[in-house]
Amino acid sequence: MPVLPSPSLLAVDWGTTALRGALLTADGAVLAERAAPRGLLSIAPGGWAAAFEAEFGPWLAAHPGLVCLMAGMVGSRQGWSEAAYCPCPATLADLAGALLWVQPGRVAIVPGLCTDAQGVPDVMRGEETQVFGALQRLGLVDATLVLPGTHSKWVTVRGGRITGFNTHMTGECYALLRQQSILARTLPADDSAWVAEAFDRGVARALTPGGLLHHLFSVRTLALFDRDDGPALASTLSGLLIGEELRAQALPAGQAVVAVGSPALTARYQRALVLLGHEVHTVGADAGWAGLLALAGRLPQGGTP
């Protein structure tokens, strides 16, 4: 009878709408995983410890001494406990040194990062952990990364240090325009029909003068004149928004990019980036597990701070 390996970390990604957890071995194998629609929005103030025990108490009881590290909105002002943002530049060691232990020696929250450009702050919570995980997977200490999503993050890493980042509200704007604007009237209900060439046209148009607020209206007028059908126009809208993000990001020519996230999302960014002449490496969203494991490796023996 084979001996089951023991877990060395309970890794948790606790976000705005969902929670995911995994029991990881020291070399990153996933022994068990669970997900629940129990994000920040569904947990009443004061209800965090109880929600945590309901989801993960049995695992921790079965593995005495196991440490849990959590990333994401769980550390926000509306979360379990507010973990102050680490300022950039920040290393993995900086994050490990700033863990917020909500149950000493047992459960800690990874702080997010903040940065400041011309007096305007920017923030992330959760992506920092995915970034360090992706770097470790790819063996990189210098990289430009994009983490597409509701609020896409572009992250610069130099010498293993996150030196800066910025956020684009691309996914949220896409959802609003896709579902609730006048454009929605001629678009299909979902994105199941993907038209790659129409996406490419959107990316290319976003790079021409005119501005996003103008280019968006083309989705309306091309429908009015029956020049494109609904599925094509939904793909064009996606291309317009991702193309605008890339236009604004203004990457140096030939800059390689690491795209971290779900395959459906990173595939769109990869396609747009390749159109613009960039080499792209993709890493799945489970890079977050690798990041939490790397953080756990920085803890003092015994796991206590």
Site for a second copy, rule CB under 8 A: 77, 117-118, 120-123, 151-152, 166-170, 172-173, 176-177, 180-182, 205, 208-214, 216-218, 221-222, 224-225, 227, 241, 244-245, 247-250
Shortest distance, CB of residue 221 to a second copy, whole angstroms? 4
137 close to 294: Cβ distance less than 8 angstroms: no
DSSP 16: S
Shortest distance, CB of residue 120 to a second copy, whole angstroms? 5
- SS3 at position 200: helix
Nearest to a second copy of 34, 214 (CB atom): 214
Backbone angles phi, psi at 225, to 5 degrees: -95, 15
d(CA 271, CA 265): 10
Shortest distance, CB of residue 256 to a second copy, whole angstroms? 21
- Per DSSP bridges, beta strands 68-71 and 86-87 are unpaired
Rounded to a whole number of angstroms, the distance between the first and last alpha carbons of the chain is 37
Nearest to a second copy of 123, 275 (CB atom): 123
Residue 246, both tokens: 């890339």
Nearest to a second copy of 250, 253 (CB atom): 250
Shortest distance, CB of residue 207 to a second copy, whole angstroms? 12
Backbone angles phi, psi at 14, to 5 degrees: -120, 105
d(CA 261, CA 280): 13
Nearest to a second copy of 91, 167 (CB atom): 167
Shortest distance, CB of residue 220 to a second copy, whole angstroms? 8
